[in-house]
Structure 1
Amino acid sequence: MKLQELTKPWAAFNYGFLDESAKRELRRSILKAIAVPGYQVPYASREVPMARGWGTGGLQVTLTLLKPTSVVKVIDQGADDSVNAVSIRKFFNRVGGCGATEDTLEATIIQSRHRIPEEKLRDDQVLVLQVPDPEPLRAVQSDMSITREMHGDADYGQLWLVLYEQLVKSGRIMQGSSYPSLVNGRYVISPSPIPRWDVKKLHQSAHLTILSAGREKRLYVVPPFTDVEPLVFDDVPYRIEDHADKTCYRTQVTGFFVNELPQDDGSARFELSDSHFGVKHIKTSGGEMVAVGDTWYKNGKMD
């Protein structure tokens, strides 16, 4: 047997890499998830040129939504210039012939890992969040068949107990990223490993948010103008990260989510997590005319 007999003749990829059957299935799953906000819809996660756990769920959703007129922005923990973000953006351009941007205002599709941009999204934009673990009940129940029953019965008592134990032991709820949130008064979701700072951006937002986990083969949706309420006790208010007084050393902007950068002398610098939002402020301070969109937060507080 020869090598040529084991290989297929060269053929061009389908538009958007995924075959049409895969796209149709994903679109049906997305429509179902929109109709039932927060409900985890299973789908047959396809193989893509990326290791599972590195954003294959978000990649498949974006490829399904892609068209030649799309303008795609890819964020990796707030940064547009990380290796992962740049590689994914180039892949979309190669298989879809679409435009690419780092500007939140210009994008029609924003695929993100662990962050939501500081600038508000419009109703004509779609946010695709990569999700490593879509199941908020996994910490209290490892059997997935039982967690499905618990979601069906809206049985979230064990989840409340976990939050209560954190409160009793530490004096505050220690849950940082992936803070469990109630969608449309019915299903509790894990809103991706976004910080608590970003969870409130999902509440009554104008844009469509699709959360997809390729490794777990599930997706769920927060439709526009839908209630998203973090699980909190009546007498213990929801707390975001205390970044209100942190100033970005590069832009001198205060009141937004920042990354802490330890220094050799033991001190720390702070830098805007949303990298292109920081670039805009640098250009503005240099006298350039740059459009800066309205933001969710004003001086560290939700607008």
Structure 2
Amino acid sequence: MTSEAPPQPQTVAGLAHAWQDHSYAFLDESSKRELRRKILKAIALPGYQVPYASREVPIARGWGTGGLQATLALIGPGDIMKVIDQGADDSVNAANLRRFISRMTGVATTTDAMQATLIQSRHRIPEEILGSGQVLILQVPDPEPLRGVESNISVARQMHADADYGLMWLKLYEQLVKFGRIIQGASYPSLVHGRYVISPSPIPRWDVPKLHQAAHLTLLSAGREKRLYAVPPYTDVQPLEFDDVPYQIEDQGGQTCFRTGVAHKFFNELPQEDGSSRYELSDSGYGEKVLRRREGEPVELGHAYFDDEGRFYHDGYLKQ
């Protein structure tokens, strides 16, 4: 017979987790639970601005605190993270946020939009079509689309409750009368699920149609204004337009990326010393994949929202 080893006495130290200098994903668990509850409410009411208790994080207000908090509330050990700023993966803001999130969570990071499960972005949506299971988190400096026509936020809240967007339509009409066209660029007001008008972050007009009937979840969070809202998967998003004046994206026709040769994508204009301009893909991750594929690497390119002929992937959505 073999004698069993006597049971070891339990101690408090043995039952406790190993000491670490921060909570997982930086925020404390109660903060993350509150944010998740508010995110669920935002998903249940597409386009509705849900207030939340915005916490302090180690970046300045106005530099993506809202998007960062939403990311930290949702991210888990199995996620793959991509962070972009104005389309670039290597900008100072994107690099700092990526480094912080990786340090606080240990998750893998990528520059490939197709591999990422969470994408935090400032002012751009990737060129490749995002799929189900992916979450796009947009940083928002000003979530209130009515601020330009109604400075009293209490009155603006009541206008949202009444679905009273007449002043917004009047603003667009005045632009037509004065300039002959609608000059509203980034943050173009858009109707979500036929109910709430939102400011879709300062993304260019080129990116707004990408929210319509998208397979992925889009969360928009403003840390300074303490508001978040959502566009759930397969939800209608319609930029405000008149029947006889259709919504128009930025004209990228005739331009190609000087590095990749790609056309019919959103470009950054680079002024040259001789007064001319060169154009470069705004989505640096997509451009990197195009170049690597050209060099013979087995890189898989996802389908783009706009094909090589400039056609949007939802036929008939953009009127010509």
| TM-score, with length taken from structure 1 | 0.96
Alignment partner, residue 301 of structure 1: 311
> Could you give the per-residue CA deviations for residues 81-123 of structure 1, whole angstroms, max 9, x where no partner exists?
0011011111111001111000001100000000000001010
Distance in 1 between residues matched to 2:205 and 2:239, nearest whole Å: 9
Alignment partner, residue 201 of structure 2: 192
Give how far 1:301 is off.
2.5
Secondary structure class of the residue paired with 2:245: coil
- Of 155, 159, 174 in structure 2, the residue corresponding to residue 150 of structure 1 is 159
Matched, 1:62 2:71: yes
- On the 8 A contact 1:108/1:126 being kept in 2, the answer is yes
Matched, 1:120 2:129: yes
Matched, 1:132 2:134: no
Matched, 1:257 2:266: yes
Unaligned runs of 5+ in 2: 1-18, 314-320
Alignment partner, residue 214 of structure 1: 223
Runs of 4 or more consecutive aligned structure 1 residues displaced over 2 Å after TM superposition: none
Alignment partner, residue 233 of structure 2: 224
Alignment partner, residue 168 of structure 1: 177
What letter corresponds to residue 250 of structure 2 in structure 1? Answer: E
- Of 80, 83, 87 in structure 2, the residue corresponding to residue 74 of structure 1 is 83
What letter corresponds to residue 220 of structure 1 in structure 2? Answer: Y
| TM-score, with length taken from structure 2 | 0.91
Give how far 1:40 is off.
0.1
Greater shift, 281-290 or 47-56, is seen at 281-290
Secondary structure class of the residue paired with 1:220: strand
Give how far 1:288 is off.
1.5
Distance in 2 between residues matched to 1:289 and 1:15, nearest whole Å: 35
Distance in 2 between residues matched to 1:246 and 1:235, nearest whole Å: 28
Unaligned runs of 5+ in 1: 1-9
Give how far 1:233 is off.
0.3
What letter corresponds to residue 111 of structure 2 in structure 1? Answer: E
Distance in 2 between residues matched to 1:262 and 1:93, nearest whole Å: 35
Matched, 1:248 2:269: no
Give how far 1:286 is off.
1.4
Matched, 1:284 2:293: yes
Alignment partner, residue 182 of structure 1: 191
- On the 8 A contact 1:244/1:256 being kept in 2, the answer is no
Secondary structure class of the residue paired with 2:82: strand
Secondary structure class of the residue paired with 2:137: strand
Distance in 2 between residues matched to 1:116 and 1:274, nearest whole Å: 8
Distance in 1 between residues matched to 2:189 and 2:311, nearest whole Å: 21
Alignment partner, residue 109 of structure 1: 118
Secondary structure class of the residue paired with 1:277: helix
Secondary structure class of the residue paired with 2:206: helix
When the two chains are superposed, the root-mean-square deviation of aligned CA atoms in Å is 0.9
Paired residues in the alignment total 294
> Could you give the per-residue CA deviations for residues 131-174 of structure 1, whole angstroms, max 9, x where no partner exists?
00000000011111110000000000000000000011111100
Give how far 1:291 is off.
0.8
Alignment partner, residue 280 of structure 2: 271
Distance in 2 between residues matched to 1:199 and 1:169, nearest whole Å: 24
